[in-house]
Amino acid sequence: MSQNLLEVNDLVKHFALPHPLLEKARGKKAANVHAVDGVSLSIAKNETLGLVGESGSGKTTLGRTILMLEKPTSGKIIFQDRTLTDLDDEEIRQLRKKMQIVFQNPYSSLDPRARVKDIVAEPLRAFKDISSDVAEEAVIRATAAVNLSPDSLSRFPHEFSGGQRQRIAIARALILEPEFIVLDEPTSALDSSVQAQILNLLRNLQEEMGLSYLLITHNVNVVKYMANRIAVMYAGKLVEVGNTRDVLEKPLHPYTSALISSIPQPDPRRRLKTVAAIGEVPSMVNLPTGCRFNPRCPYAEGICRQQEPSLREILPGHLSACHFSEKFQ
């Protein structure tokens, strides 16, 4: 399967909670937050995979772990046929040139005391052996690619609006000419009129530079517009993966259906009628037994409380982790 740029196999990331003294005295084990709990996915060249889920579902941790910004607890990450999880730090550092990330909040992800040109050039400097002439040229190219005017280069982040700042952050991610970018809620902090500009920019850049994206967002409409395929995450696991159209129009997992049916549409003639999922995202420390969605699922039966469903292919290219997916076809 070498046509995939990135492959993730059974990735697990647990965070240990601080061990309360009293619990320790009682001989109990420290609890873990199961942020990412056995996720497998792949991203092809030039593809956008949209990762949707509610807050606390582990989608940001998944993105960070794929880039090895968090050390995985177990599992495999294969990028360009190299297994990241087997490489040493220096090799990973070199590979980072090809993998970048854009964060949600452009107000906190840019150093307020650095000028735009230095912010954008920072990744270059991390890989030294680059002359200042070459660096300057690269900065000009990267900022031009995101439609920032050349006179903005010597200004500071506070002089820019949210949309402009996100352009700066994207330019910084582009300067090393990466092949894969994790976009972690890239437009959630932006106004809707500006969001459209940034989404279009990201799509144009992808076409021009052959980029692959992992787009992490809670906004299903953004994913619909951006992604070739969608992965739906719930409580640390993927519950459904498939082509954007298939997943949004014929969801095979009850959670995906609930999620889609609660998205408000900007159309007063299509108001939400029923309120689908009752309850809340489960605690990531004490997960429900069996299927993690069963306490909120309107179709849950005995088996759902006992056996955890695995993510399996129901229709070609359309995977779902529900015991009854065939029923929802």
Please report, as ranges, the residues that interact with other proteins according to CB under 8 A.
Answer: 48, 54-55, 161-164, 191-197, 199-200, 203, 218, 220-222, 224-228, 244-245, 258-259, 262-269, 271-272, 275-281
Q: Rounded to the nearest whole angstrom, what is the least distance from the CB of residue 317 to other proteins in the complex?
A: 16
The residue (of 258 and 304) whose beta carbon lies closer to other proteins is 258
Nearer to other proteins, 21 or 275 (CB): 275
Q: How far apart are CA 58 and CA 197, in angstroms?
A: 28
Question: Least Å distance between CB 290 and other proteins?
Answer: 20
**Separation between Cα atoms, residue 98 and residue 195, nearest integer Å:** 26
Residue whose CB is less far from other proteins, 272 or 303 = 272
Q: C-beta of 198: minimal distance to other proteins in Å? A: 9
Residue 203 beta carbon to other proteins: minimum distance, rounded to whole angstroms: 8
DSSP, res 56: T
Residue among 279 and 302 whose Cβ is closer to other proteins: 279
How many CB atoms are closer than 10 A to CB 266? Answer: 7
Closest approach of Cβ 84 to other proteins, in Å? 28
For residues 106 and 104, give the distance between their C-alpha atoms in angstroms, rounded to a whole number: 6
Of 9 and 197, CB closest to other proteins: 197
| Comparison of 142 and 247: residue with beta carbon closer to other proteins | 247
Tell the smallest beta-carbon distance from residue 29 to other proteins (Å): 24
142 Rama class: left (phi>0) / alpha (psi -120 to 50) / beta: alpha
Residues in the chain: 329
Please name the residues in contact with 192: beta carbons below 8 A apart, sequence gap of 6 or more.
none
d(CA 90, CA 73) in angstroms, rounded, equals 20
Rounded CA-CA distance 62/52 in Å is 11
Closer CB to other proteins, residue 96 or residue 296?
A: 296
Q: Which is nearer to other proteins, 100 or 244 (CB)?
A: 244
Q: Which of 245, 244, 216, 242 is nearest to 321 (CA)?
A: 242
Is the alpha carbon torsion for 255, 317, 327, 263 positive or negative? positive
Dihedral (CA of 17, 23, 25, 29) sign: negative
In whole angstroms, the minimum distance from the beta carbon of 271 to other proteins comes to: 5
* Gap between the Cα atoms of 100 and 139, Å rounded: 16
Based on C-alpha coordinates, what's the Rg of the chain?
21
CB of 261 to other proteins, least distance (A): 8
First to last CA, the chain: 28
